[in-house]
């Protein structure tokens, strides 16, 4: 519910920033016409939320890699993770250049990767000690790419210049919901039917049945979103408050649930495929983070979230699935 509230706040701010000056509901604020307004129209709460998660994740991942004897360039990591996440927010507003390559943001993301490799190399060399150079540079780049580059696609999906209006916020929320539905499906299927361990050395509690349940959970969640859109679009005879609610639901599910370009999959098969892909990517992310913790002999990445562990325990699935969601929505299916 907290996450949903943050997404709604982001959408509300973006819509307010996008109102024309002569709109009867527009405020007299002048910020809407300047750089701040351009930035807020692309997003506000969501980019800052992703930035906060990324920086908090750096602290946890730093603890894990140091437990294995690595000595990463942590301050440099913080800077590059922040820059990597903020670039897709600043670019569509034209704050980093007005050319197509600059506005779409991907060029600057590649520049961040290049700068990360060169910067990490320089810092390792300046330590004047070759012992552990490979380990230290590898740990530094792992942290930047895992928590900077990969998480930047969440901002790219929300703020990308190809995203009309606030569609990116809803698509990001859908990707997160469908990914987390895999965790729910895997938990219940594994608890009820789990008999065959999948990778016991990495995650002893995970079973083959749980993996299947996760795939089914995400597929069902994605299909449910399509049906929710169809119900909302039918405009059932309900009260005025319900109409307002259905309008919000319609706005949130329209892009995901409508047919895409000619020759593309229809909404229901596309939803099933999307759910399966999100679950597979999310479970890969889950196992990957488990590898990090097992290698460091640490049970939870942190204790920020009671009963859930740390930030990395919470975002291990989306950090892998959301970049793939961006690729599917914008390149493969072109639904925006």
Average pLDDT for 197-224: 92
Paired strand residues for 305: 309
In this predicted structure, what is the pLDDT of residue 214?
Answer: 96
Task: Specify burial of residue 156 (Cβ count, 10 A radius: 0-12, 13-18, 19+).
Answer: buried
Alpha-carbon distance of 193 to 213, in angstroms, equals 9
Higher pLDDT, 336 or 325: 325
Determine which helix (DSSP H) or strand (DSSP E) holds 7, and give its type and residue range: helix 2-17
Q: What is the pLDDT of residues 108-166, one digit of tens each?
A: 999 999 999 999 999 999 999 999 999 999 999 999 999 999 999 999 999 988 887 78
Higher pLDDT, 140 or 238: 140
Residue where the block lists tokens 């790419």: 145
Residue of 267, 264, 233 whose CA lies nearest to 249:
233
Q: What is the pLDDT of residues 82-118, one digit of tens each?
A: 999 999 999 888 888 877 778 888 889 999 999 999 9
Would you list the DSSP string of 119-147? Answer: HHHHHHHHTT--TTHHHHHHHHHHHHIII
Higher pLDDT, 185 or 22: 185
Paired strand residues for 197: 207
How many CB atoms neighbour CB 247 within 10 A? 12
In this predicted structure, what is the pLDDT of residue 24?
Answer: 46
* Highest-scoring range by mean pLDDT, 119-123, 129-133, 188-192, 252-256: 119-123
Q: What is the pLDDT of residues 35-60, one digit of tens each?
A: 777 788 888 899 999 999 999 999 99
pLDDT grade for 248, boundaries at 50, 70 and 90: confident
Does the structure show a pLDDT above 70 at 306?
no
Residue of 195, 213, 214 whose CA lies nearest to 205:
195
In this predicted structure, what is the pLDDT of residue 25?
Answer: 44
In this predicted structure, what is the pLDDT of residue 33?
Answer: 61
User: Domain-by-domain residue ranges, the chain?
Assistant: 40-161, 165-336
Do the Cβ atoms of 159 and 88 come closer than 8 Å? yes
In this predicted structure, what is the pLDDT of residue 247?
Answer: 78
In this predicted structure, what is the pLDDT of residue 260?
Answer: 76
Average pLDDT for 215-237: 89
Q: Among the listed ranges 30-34, 162-166, 242-246, 304-308, which one has the minimum average pLDDT value?
A: 30-34
In this predicted structure, what is the pLDDT of residue 305?
Answer: 63
**Start-to-end C-alpha separation, the chain:** 26
Average pLDDT for 283-310: 83
pLDDT grade for 32, boundaries at 50, 70 and 90: low
């Amino acid at each position: 519910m907290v996450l949903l509230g943050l997404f709604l706040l982001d959408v509300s701010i973006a819509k307010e920033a996008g109102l024309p000056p002569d709109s009867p509901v527009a405020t007299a604020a002048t910020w809407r016409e300047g750089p701040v307004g351009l930035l807020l129209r692309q997003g506000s709460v969501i980019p800052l939320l992703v930035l906060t998660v990324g920086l908090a994740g750096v602290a946890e991942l730093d603890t894990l890699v140091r437990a294995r004897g690595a000595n990463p360039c942590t301050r440099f990591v913080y800077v590059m993770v922040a820059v990597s996440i903020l670039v897709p927010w600043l670019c569509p507003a034209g704050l980093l250049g007005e050319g197509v390559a600059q506005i779409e943001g991907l060029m600057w993301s590649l520049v961040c990767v290049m700068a990360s490799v060169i910067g990490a190399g320089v810092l390792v060399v300046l330590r004047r000690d070759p012992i552990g150079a490979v380990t230290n540079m590898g740990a530094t780049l792992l942290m930047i790419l895992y928590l900077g580059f990969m998480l930047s696609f969440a901002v790219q999906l929300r703020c990308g210049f190809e995203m009309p209006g606030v569609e990116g916020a809803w698509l990001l929320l859908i990707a997160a919901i469908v990914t987390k539905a895999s965790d729910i499906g895997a938990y219940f299927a594994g608890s009820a039917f789990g008999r065959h361990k999948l990778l016991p050395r990495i995650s002893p509690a995970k079973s083959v049945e749980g993996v299947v349940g996760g795939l089914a959970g995400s597929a069902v969640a994605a299909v449910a979103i399509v049906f929710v859109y169809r119900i909302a679009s039918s405009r059932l005879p309900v009260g005025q408050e319900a109409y307002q609610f259905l309008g919000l639901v319609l706005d949130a599910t329209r892009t995901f649930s409508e047919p895409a370009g000619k020759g593309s999959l229809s909404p229901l098969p596309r939803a099933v495929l999307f759910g399966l892909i999100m679950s597979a990517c999310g479970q890969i992310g889950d196992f990957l983070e488990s590898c990090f913790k097992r290698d460091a002999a640490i049970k939870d990445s942190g204790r920020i979230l009671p009963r859930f562990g740390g930030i990395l325990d919470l975002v291990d699935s989306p950090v892998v699935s959301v970049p793939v969601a961006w690729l599917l929505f914008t390149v493969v299916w072109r639904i925006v």
